[in-house]
Amino acid sequence: MFDIQKHRHNYFYNLATVVEELIPAEICDNLTDRVNTIIAQGLVDHVNHSGLGNDAVSDLGRVYNHHIFKGPDVRAHLPELNAIYHAITPLISLITCTDAIVSPYSLSDINIKAYPPGGGSAGFTL
């Protein structure tokens, strides 16, 4: 059974921003396999540079090394994640005791950073 009080406690007192085991392991395994295949096929941007942002990442930073699935990539290749994103919005409101809304920005509403084997970085100096 889902214990909303446990998740509220973890959010407010332990600063937890992940609801563990929300997505069944079998679905996670399937998504992981598909993400790795999509990356191997070169269907998403590989952000691998240092300094200021580039066409794939437009923020200030230092060292970047990851693959990024932007909103359109998620909707095209991982549609169930888009559905989950929309479906859990009310749950997030219940946990955080605030209004949670779906982002109106289609490019950045749901993003995934996938780090290469051995580790990667997202704007941190190594």
**How do residues 111-125 score in pLDDT, each as one tens digit?**
988 888 877 766 554
For residues 66 and 112, the answer to whether their CB atoms sit within 8 Å is: no
Confidence of residue 50 (pLDDT cuts 50, 70, 90): confident
What is the pLDDT at residue 52? Answer: 63
Per-residue CA distances from 38 to 19, 31, 77, 88 (Å):
26, 10, 8, 25
Query: Rounded to whole angstroms, what are the CA distances from 120 to 5, 14, 58, 63, 116?
Result: 35, 26, 18, 9, 6
